[in-house]
Structure 1
């Protein structure tokens, strides 16, 4: 006869990014961003402080798990473009491909709860770092067929379209749908202007 499994209490002891995210957002609602520490997030998630830093380099990184994964997808698509595909088509497909995987529940928490966060330098720096990474990826892809200044201009314009689309998506409320249509509206006219790249 085997022993019955022993019941456990509290949260499961999983050191996943999503568990830490959930714990962080609960605490941000209770204490605000500035009033919440990494120690509190780790304790709420039932993991060690070191485990937190296995997943994140800073407290503000919990806001951007989905965005980071999307930028990784864009990077993979830009590193292996279809043979003979024009740069503009490759950029369009890479950005829209990543956006098509983000549904209504994937909006970054920071965009829908910004009033609870406040304008902290740490949060702003964390999002600027991600925008810079995306810009560099786009610029590198565009530089294969465009002069440096034009490639850089295109990269900044695309990042601006992504930011505008994400804000529109967040502001659309519960019926927002996928990010992709919001990005298509912001991105397509811009890319048409760079059609010769």
Structure 2
């Protein structure tokens, strides 16, 4: 939830963004494991309760931008008029990637070693991938009449999200010379979607 506009016309940064930046500073200074929610709240100038108004756990601050980007995926899927479920998933993933700002690289990935995030990074990524996988599999199942746990919905979801995740990783690793995220995702999805759609 963003704050009102400043007099000069620029929107104030949301409390969530302030908290995420405060967390990033602390993680860089003293590591992820040695940073507490209370310390993040103090650095951001808010209460502990305010922190939990925006995040359910400390690890959630690592994914502010990415969570915002993927939140639109179910909406894109639901709005699709594409006859092929595979192509609908491809379009939805491309729309999600297109909406992600080129300068918003999740520092949880880019600075994971410096911040000493380790296993917490893996666990928080897994939770997010699992949620997206379930959403895509349910969409494909709805189009095909299969159960979401059936082989085809699971295969489409796993293959398409796997390709998109691989593209995202390469995009982050490419550093300052990186192109737009949608270019990477499109290049990764094209052969996968073509293969699945030929079934």
Provide the rounded CA distance (Å) in 2 between the counterparts of 1:109 and 1:48.
24
Q: 1:192 to 1:14 in 2, by over 3 A?
A: closer
Extract unaligned runs of 5+ from structure 2: 1-11
Give CA-to-partner distance per residue, 1:91-121, whole Å, 9 cap, x none.
1111000101223321111111011233533
Q: Does 1:41 align with 2:50?
A: no
Of structures 1 and 2, the one scoring higher in RCO (CA 8 A, sep 6+) is 1
Q: Is the CA contact (8 Å cut-off) linking 1:104 and 1:175 kept in structure 2?
A: no
Pairing 1:40-119 to 2, within 5 Å after superposition: 40-82=39-81, 85-118=83-116
Give TM-score, length-normalised by structure 2: 0.86
Match of 1:131 in 2: 129
Q: Structure 1, residues 71-91: CA drift from partner, whole Å, max 9, x if none? A: 211111112222x53212211
Aligned counterpart, 1:185: 187
Return the alpha-carbon distance in structure 1 between the equivalents of residues 14 and 182 of structure 2: 31
Return the offset for 1:158. 1.6
Distance in 1 between residues matched to 2:86 and 2:162, nearest whole Å: 16
- Paired residues in the alignment total 184
RMSD: 1.9
1:65 is displaced (CA, Å) by 1.3
Task: Specify every segment of 5 or more residues in structure 1 that has no aligned partner in the other structure, as ranges.
Answer: 1-12
Residue 14 of structure 1 deviates from its aligned partner by: 7.5
CA-CA distance at 1:21 after TM superposition: 0.6
Q: Give the structure-1-normalised TM-score.
A: 0.87
Larger radius of gyration: 1
